[in-house]
């Protein structure tokens, strides 16, 4: 059963890594995952999985748009012996911020009370619900790195 759920999304991620950035590839995999769940479980039960849209897809799309504008900042920040581009750090904070605000608002919508710290417990049914996004992040990172070696 897991192969039917994760298989099409991972396959789409492997194919998408050739043409898309890591964030866009992650969005593609989560969207295919939700579509696959809607097909396998039926339309009514697919509404349970809307947290993936708010926690994964919307922040990744904000990161895609933010990267376009924030990557123009070419200043760097030294932390220890490493240098980090300010634009990339700002984009990571943008993604985390959009995910946090979306999660808190979704928890408020679901429970009717404001839960700013423990909002993940109000959104997901179990801790296992966090496994698919983590798998898709891993596939997006690995496929993107392998793409560089496979490209002629």
- Condensed to tens digits (0 to 9), the pLDDT of residues 49-76 reads 577 888 888 899 999 999 888 888 878 8
Are 71 and 64 in contact by the 8 Å Cβ rule? The answer is no
Are 5 and 36 in contact by the 8 Å Cβ rule? The answer is yes
Q: What is the pLDDT of residue 22?
A: 87
The whole model's pTM is what? 0.78
CA distance 20 to 89: 21
Q: Tell me: the pLDDT tens digits for 88-104?
A: 888 999 999 999 998 88
Burial class (CB in 10 A: 0-12, 13-18, 19+), 31: middle
> Beta strands of 11-142 (E only): which ranges?
76-79, 82-85
SS (H, E, C) 21-48: CHHHHHHHHHHHHHHHHHHHHCHHHHHH
């Amino acid at each position: 059963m897991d192969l039917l759920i994760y298989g099409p999304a991972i396959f789409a991620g492997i194919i998408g890594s050739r043409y898309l950035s890591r964030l866009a590839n992650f969005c593609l995999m989560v969207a295919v995952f939700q579509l696959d769940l809607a097909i396998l479980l039926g339309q009514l039960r697919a509404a349970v999985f809307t947290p993936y849209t708010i926690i994964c897809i919307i922040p990744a799309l904000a990161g895609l748009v933010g990267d376009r504008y924030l990557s123009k900042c070419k200043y760097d920040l030294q932390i220890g012996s490493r240098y980090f581009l300010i634009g990339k750090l700002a984009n990571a904070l943008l993604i985390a911020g959009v995910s946090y605000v979306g999660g808190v608002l979704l928890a408020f919508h679901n429970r009717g009370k404001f839960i700013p710290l423990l909002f993940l417990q109000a959104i997901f049914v179990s801790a296992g619900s966090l496994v698919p996004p983590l798998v898709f992040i891993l596939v997006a990172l690995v496929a993107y790195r392998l793409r560089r070696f496979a490209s002629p």
